[in-house]
């Protein structure tokens, strides 16, 4: 995946890695796409996902 990103993607791409282990996968992808700035890579773990959903649900249903 990282080599495909390196070869084909814009250098301004933002990459969100969701699959577990998200942090490790994000690191590996970033190593294979060295021309993409490290700040453009993010990892979303399931716990973070669940927390975000809870916040949206809690704040989204109140008047």
At residue 45, the pLDDT reads 81
Comparing CA positions, the residue from 26, 44, 45 lying closest to residue 36 is: 26
Mean pLDDT by 10 residues, the chain (63 residues): 90 90 92 95 84 86 58
**Are the C-beta atoms of residues 15 and 41 closer than 8 Å to each other?**
yes
């Amino acid at each position: 995946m990282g080599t495909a990103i390196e070869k084909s993607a814009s250098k301004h791409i933002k990459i969100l890695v969701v699959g577990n282990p998200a942090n490790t996968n994000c690191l590996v992808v970033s190593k294979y796409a060295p021309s993409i700035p490290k700040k453009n890579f993010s990892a979303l773990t399931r716990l973070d996902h669940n927390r975000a959903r809870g916040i949206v649900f809690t704040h989204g249903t109140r008047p």
